[in-house]
Amino acid sequence: MDDNPPHWDDILFKWPFQKFLSFVEQYPVSDWNGYFPGCFDPALYSVILHREDDPMPFVRYLVEHGADVNKPLDDGICPIHAAAMRSSPDCLHYLLKHGAFVNQPSYDEDPWRPIHAASWNGCFETTEALVRLGAFGDAVNEYGDTPLSIATGNDLPKFVELLSRAIPAPPRADSADIEPILYLFIGIPGSGKSTFYRRVLEDPNIDYVSLDALGTRAREKTAFDAALAARRSVAVDNTNVTKALRARYLTSAKTAGYRTVGLFFQSVLADCLARNETREGKAKVKRLAVLGMSAQLELPSKDEGFDNLFFVRIADGLFEIEPWKES
């Protein structure tokens, strides 16, 4: 590489993609990073937010060549926040498919999530995509702002109506007069429940209770009761295919003053069997067990005691969430 390489900002923000590609392909990535140390990670954020044309060719190149989709800048903001601020659903979907987290908090003293950024910037299309993909509509930052309160304060009625349909966020542990939440998963094996928790719902303010992980009903009950005793929000990742099974958790949670949120995972038998076949070790469930769970499955209803009930399906490799429609 020349001793006087072109300016980094010119490469990122002014050059068309083909010129950029011709330049970088002249040199190994190791040489590139020698001149621009760690350049690929901050470049990802920068091209998303600051390119005036379509940033996607640059985004794909940078991610394919090692840019970390979850790497924060010095101010704590991640690439997915940039996609939310830019109003770029295509970029948002691409980042999520490559490991970004839809409810990613910023790494600073004022933890904003992507949906805060989209609401603040009036990006309706991105806000709509984030809600559909599982973003918390009422997540609170350090100053007490939520996407819903931002939209209300900015007199954005379309945003308010949209955000009111989003999955509720777990209250922060240091919140006063908190109403913790029970997130109750419902769906046969292979419907995506555990993956959904890792990709969408996982949060330091939520305890995770799974029979598969804990091994016995006794251990699961101990973990669930401990979460309720500590007034911690809790996600119960079991099949919960019958009303009777769900009632055990709902009754206890309601008695303890919890808000109850049901998440029904689309349970198309053929799809679930196919996903189960890709599993290995203990994660793989016997085929007869999947068939049995499918036969027992009872569709949920808000009348069971849910304050909120959602339908979750897998579409194009991502989870999509919408309010439950009673049959």
Q: What confidence score (pLDDT) does residue 158 get? A: 92
pLDDT grade, residue 34 (50/70/90)? very low
Q: Helix, strand, or coil here: 111?
A: coil
Q: How much is the average pLDDT of 95-106?
A: 93
Do residues 136 and 20 both lie within one domain? yes
pTM here? 0.88
pLDDT band at 35 (very low <50, low <70, confident <90, very high): very low
Q: How many domains does the chain have?
A: 2
Question: Angle CA(308)–CA(252)–CA(102) in degrees, nearest 5?
Answer: 40
- Identify whether residues 153 and 282 lie together within a single domain: no
Q: Calculate what percentage of the chain has a pLDDT beyond 90.
A: 57
Q: Please indicate, yes or no, whether residues 154 and 46 belong to a single structural domain of this protein.
A: yes
Separation of alpha carbons 265 and 76, rounded Å:
33
Taking alpha carbons only, the member of 124, 132, 205 closest to residue 157 is: 124
Do 132 and 41 lie in a common domain? yes
CATH number at residue 187: 3.40.50.300
Q: Which two tokens stand for residue 208?
A: 């995770």
Confirm if 243 and 289 have CB atoms less than 8 A apart: no
Same domain, 15 and 92: yes
Give the residue from 163, 47, 154 showing the smallest Cα distance to 114: 163
Residue at 176 is within a domain: no
- pLDDT tens profile 258-309: 999 999 999 999 999 998 888 888 778 888 999 999 999 999 999 999 999 9
Q: Is 3 domain-assigned? A: no
pLDDT at residue 318 tops 90: yes
Tokens of 30: 């190791």
Kindly report the average pLDDT of the chain as a whole number: 88
pLDDT of residue 77: 85
Q: Is the pLDDT of residue 202 over 90?
A: yes
List the beta strands (DSSP E) in the chain.
181-186, 206-209, 233-236, 259-265, 308-315, 318-323
Closest CA to 110 of 135, 79, 145, 83: 145
In a domain, 117, yes or no: yes
User: Under 8 Å CB-to-CB from 137, ≥6 apart: which residues?
Assistant: 115, 131, 146, 147, 148, 162, 163, 164, 165, 166, 167, 168, 169
What residues make up the domain containing 85?
8-163
Identify the CATH number of the domain in which residue 57 sits: 1.25.40.20
Residue 160 CB neighbours (<10 A): 18
Residue 90 has pLDDT above 70, yes or no: yes
Residue 32 within a domain: yes
Sheet strand arrangement including 318-323: 206-209, 233-236, 181-186, 259-265, 308-315, 318-323
Of 258, 251, 257, nearest in space to 234 by CA: 258
Q: Are residues 254 and 145 in the same domain?
A: no
DSSP at 244: H
pLDDT reported for residue 10: 81
Considering the domain architecture, whether residues 190 and 291 belong to the same structural domain is answered as: yes
